[in-house]
Amino acid sequence: MKFVTPFARWNLPAVTVVSAVSLAGCNLQPTPSAPTRASETQAAKPAPTPKTQVAISDANTAKIRLDSTPEIVKAGQPATWTLQILDKKSGQPVTKFDAVHEKVLHLALVSKDFSWFTTAHPQYRGDGTFQFAATLPRAGDYRLYADFTAKTRGREVVQQDVRVTSPEPLSAAAELKADPLRDGWNLPEKRVTSAPEGQPSVGGGDAYQVSLSSRPPKIVAGQEVTLHFQLVNANEKYVSDLQPYQGALGQCVILSQDGGTYLHPPVLQSDGHTDHTHKAGAGPNVRFVTKFPKAGLYKVWGQFQHKGKIISAPFVLNVSKSAPA
């Protein structure tokens, strides 16, 4: 199969986290010439400050309880997980939530070395409880991020560590290397295949090439940046019929190298607004606007829906320190 080469480009114009709780004792697992880059149909206005990105702190008012069926789950075997959101002080269930991006709960599950990643959006079952299925592929440490907005409490993200045992352990921590840049684009483009939501290891999906550019190209901590994804299919055609995913053209999840910073930025619409009301779908360009709170390396996953399956493309960005005042 052939893909578009990367060099015909044009100039492109956090939520709360608490300390992780280890569940190690529970053993949970849950080329032809390239066409010119597709351009936006309307020039984007300056992006407003994201409204769905919350400052990082340790002031969460909630915690989570996580159980699995079977109680002891082996790597590579499916498990059903039950997650309950509780008040941190009283231990009572948190029962009333607001939907964000059309969902009450957004889960990101990532291996500690960042080599495996998936998301899920389980249905609420009442009494602060959600249930979802997940199969963790290998042994080692994973981290679950539960992103929700409880009524009267505001948006929070609670993270929890999960350990899986097996003969093939994962690396203990992420060793990231920033993607090189050329003409403002991260290289290489990511060649990925689509998969059902929550099942990234399932094969058989269509092939895609996903590119990422940032504006400005140099990302500085504390300064607003637009992350611009572009999708091409295996036939070198721009993917212009993306389906809505979480009420938008896609979603973006960003984690710092130490796993302590989680960002879930909003989609930037062509009119410069950051909302999640793209019901009709489009493409091939999808942009998100965010601010990185500190310097360092970050793993970025762009996720998009096409033909009923999810396209997940990972990149690594280097964020520079802000200039002294």
Burial of 201 (0-12, 13-18, 19+ CB in 10 A): exposed
Q: Where are the domains of the chain?
A: 24-164, 181-320
Percentage with pLDDT > 90 across the chain: 51
d(CA 53, CA 220): 17
26 φ/ψ angles, rounded to the nearest 5 degrees: -90, -10
Kindly indicate the confidence band of residue 23, based on its pLDDT and cuts at 50, 70 and 90: very low
Instruction: For 88-104, write each residue's pLDDT tens digit.
Output: 999 999 999 999 888 89
Residue 132's identity, in one-letter code, is: F
Q: Looking at the domain 24-164, which fold is it? A: Immunoglobulin-like (2.60.40)
- Say which residues have a Cβ less than 8 Å from residue 91's Cβ, sequence separation at least 6: none
User: What is residue 167's predicted lDDT score, i.e. its pLDDT?
Assistant: 53
User: What is residue 193's predicted lDDT score, i.e. its pLDDT?
Assistant: 95
Instruction: Read off the tokens for 307.
Output: 């033909």
CA distances from 166 to 25, 72, 77, 170 (A): 14, 12, 11, 10
Kindly indicate the confidence band of residue 50, based on its pLDDT and cuts at 50, 70 and 90: very low
Question: Does position 206 have pLDDT exceeding 60, yes or no?
Answer: yes
> Are 312 and 117 in contact, with CB atoms under 8 Å apart?
yes
Number of other residues whose CB lies within 10 A of the CB of residue 151: 10
Instruction: Read off the tokens for 79.
Output: 């498990």
Place of tokens 């042994």: 139
Instruction: Read off the tokens for 217.
Output: 């190209």
Burial of 55 (0-12, 13-18, 19+ CB in 10 A): exposed
Question: Which of 5-9, 105-109, 202-206, 255-259 has the weakest average pLDDT?
Answer: 5-9
Kindly indicate the confidence band of residue 215, based on its pLDDT and cuts at 50, 70 and 90: very high
Instruction: Read off the tokens for 120.
Output: 């899920």
Question: Does position 175 have pLDDT exceeding 70, yes or no?
Answer: yes
> Are 11 and 153 in contact, with CB atoms under 8 Å apart?
no
Q: What is the mean pLDDT of residues 158-170?
A: 73
More confident residue, 51 or 16: 51
Question: Which of 139-148, 175-184, 279-288 has the weakest average pLDDT?
Answer: 279-288
d(CA 299, CA 178): 9
Is the entire prediction scored with pTM above 0.75? yes
Residue 183's identity, in one-letter code, is: D
User: What is residue 100's predicted lDDT score, i.e. its pLDDT?
Assistant: 87
User: What is residue 110's predicted lDDT score, i.e. its pLDDT?
Assistant: 94
Question: Does position 127 have pLDDT exceeding 90, yes or no?
Answer: yes
Least Cα distance to 316 among 226, 188, 230 occurs for: 188
24 φ/ψ angles, rounded to the nearest 5 degrees: -60, -35
More confident residue, 176 or 172: 176
Question: Which of 12-16, 161-165, 295-299 has the weakest average pLDDT?
Answer: 12-16
> Are 28 and 141 in contact, with CB atoms under 8 Å apart?
no
SS3 256: strand
Instruction: For 311-322, write each residue's pLDDT tens digit.
Output: 999 999 999 998
Region of residue 18 (left: phi > 0; alpha: psi -120 to 50; beta: else): beta
Query: Apex CA 138: angle with CA 132 and CA 142, to 5°?
Result: 60
Instruction: For 54-78, write each residue's pLDDT tens digit.
Output: 433 456 889 999 998 888 778 888 8
Q: What is the mean pLDDT of residues 47-51?
A: 40
Place of tokens 């093939």: 168
d(CA 159, CA 304): 24
User: What is residue 32's predicted lDDT score, i.e. its pLDDT?
Assistant: 27
Question: Does position 297 have pLDDT exceeding 70, yes or no?
Answer: yes
Tell me what the pLDDT averaged over the chain comes to.
Answer: 79
Place of tokens 């769905």: 52
User: What is residue 7's predicted lDDT score, i.e. its pLDDT?
Assistant: 33
Q: What is the 3-state secondary structure (H, E, C) of 70-112?
A: CCCCCCCCCEEEEEEEEECCCCCECCCEECECCECEEEEEEEC
Instruction: Read off the tokens for 187.
Output: 């290289």
Q: Looking at the domain 181-320, which fold is it? A: Immunoglobulin-like (2.60.40)
Question: Does position 216 have pLDDT exceeding 60, yes or no?
Answer: yes
